[in-house]
Amino acid sequence: MEASHVQKVIDVLGGEWIAKDNRISAAVLKSGTMAFMGLQNALTAVEEETKLARTTEPQMASLSPPPRKVDWRDNNGNYVTGIKYQGACGSCVAFAVCAMLEARVRILQNDPNLEIDLSEAHLFSCGCTNCCDKGWHNEKALKHARKGIGLEKDFPYKPGNQNCPKQALSPYLKVRSYSVIKGEETRKRIIAAKGPVVASMEIYDDFRNYGGGIYSHMTGSLKGHHAVCIIGYNDDDKYWIVKNSWDTDWGENGFFKIKYNECGIDEKFAFYDADLVLVPANLPPANNQVA
């Protein structure tokens, strides 16, 4: 959609964001509506909670009440790694999962300057063969991540289907366990105490033109579903702070804010928490067993 048209609708309806033309909105016109997303078989949060045996409900008692605001880019340091670009491939799930895990490593190590760049290609290509056109699912990606994820330098990402390396990559980390986070209060407690989480949302035409502010759907039809990484929230203005995988020239330098309960992000889709274990660098991959 043209940003000028979207902005007129925003102004009429009193939206709290601005529209801009960018390479994502332009590329969609050329590549088709499924480009730059990739969440497959998007299940509702209720279905996911039924499907997964373990949820975070028992953790509530051990977590402190959440503060009114959290932003892991500015929480005694920036624990969120840089924005990446998935390109015209349905690999958003791999980027959302890796974004969460990269931040969690920095938080666990109490080092916001730790250099870590996980290989989305390793997770995506080895966990979901030839999935660029059909996408993947968050739960399946987290399950596959139990086998380990290597580093970007060892298997660089390219938009498109890539073959899983014949010689196994040495994993940097493994997901030990993962769970669905039930309820807004628990989600905020997890984010505040443990760090960013994986979430999902509906994508409408106008979202591609997002240029800043607090997004809410204004115009255009549903185009698909998208996995993202929530890095914080703001209860005063009632929005989530989110890391996207559409590069830094989209949105707010690659990030965006979205109103609570918008585009199904709270009510229709599950939030995911994960615990990880770092693989000792001095052990061969075959001996790195998940604890």
| CA nearest to 257, candidates 195, 213, 227, 205 | 213
Report the interhelical angle of 92-109 vs 120-127 (nearest 10°): 130
State the pairing for strand pair 271-278/222-234: unpaired
Rounded distance between C-alpha atoms, residue 131 and residue 174, angstroms: 22
Among 89, 225, 226, 229, the one annotated catalytic: 226
Rounded distance between C-alpha atoms, residue 141 and residue 123, angstroms: 7
Among 22, 89, 92, 137, the one annotated catalytic: 92
Among 126, 209, 244, 263, the one annotated catalytic: 244
Neighbours of 47 (CB within 10 A): 14
Rounded distance between C-alpha atoms, residue 242 and residue 187, angstroms: 14
Contacts (Cβ under 8 Å, ≥6 apart) of 268: 42, 44, 45, 202
Known catalytic residue at 263: no
* Backbone phi and psi for residue 118, each to the nearest 5 degrees, phi listed first: -75, 155
CB 185 within 8 A of CB 255: no
* The residue to which tokens 């185009």 are assigned: 223
Known catalytic residue at 226: yes
> How many residues does the structure list for the chain?
291
CB 41 within 8 A of CB 136: no
| CA nearest to 51, candidates 62, 61, 42 | 42
Known catalytic residue at 138: no
CB 46 within 8 A of CB 271: no
Neighbours of 246 (CB within 10 A): 25
Query: Which residues are known catalytic residues?
Result: 92, 226, 244
